[in-house]
Amino acid sequence: MVRVLGVDPGLTRCGVGVVEGVPGRQCKLIGYYVVYTDPDDDISLRLLRLDTELAALVAEHKPQSVAVERVFSQHNVRTVMGTAQASGVAILAGARAGLPVTTYTPSEVKAAVTGSGVADKKQVTGMVTRLLGLDAPPKPADAADALALAICHIWRGGTRARIEAAALAARRGARR
């Protein structure tokens, strides 16, 4: 059982989702949040607020690991710099808490939860709702994306863990 805090970085809206689970099984929703910062505020106040809120959520939920969506320069050019700065602050929040931080591309997340790297937002939200056994989809979409990231990390970490376990078993077998 692993508890993961997923972050869909953004300066105006930053989605955070906390999920617990084991690979390939239904996961358990612990909580989800959206951190808002005021576009009229100074960039330094906005990043400080994001840092403070993320540190508080990490302290509250004590995840074993943090997953952050990777930002590309192909994103919306007008907002991409703010999104990249927010992602830097999110990655730092995990690192300062001494946690491993993994970044995933949007297609890796989509593929992990829907089976298709080009799934749309609605499909992702639908699968997140099912995979967490929720009665209604989480809102807003930033929160659903953050939950998808956390699920992606649990499942892919599981894949990695199985590969490592198999490799270890093979080495042990070879030694016998």
Contact between 140 and its own copies by CB under 8 A: the answer reads no
Q: Which of 40, 53, 69, 145 is catalytic?
A: 69
Distances (CA, A) of 175 to 111, 161, 168, 172: 37, 21, 11, 5
Tokens of 143: 């929160």
User: What is the bridge-based pairing of β-strands 101-104 and 65-69?
Assistant: parallel
For its own copies, the closer of residues 3 and 49 by Cβ is 49
Question: How open is the CA angle 53-92-160, to the nearest 5 degrees?
Answer: 110
Q: Which of residues 78-117 bind its own copies (CB under 8 A)?
A: 80-81, 84-89, 91-92, 94-96, 100-101, 103
- Let me know if 51 is a catalytic residue: no
142 is in an annotated binding site: yes
What are the residues binding its own copies (CB under 8 A)? 42-45, 47-48, 51, 71-73, 77, 80-81, 84-89, 91-92, 94-96, 100-101, 103
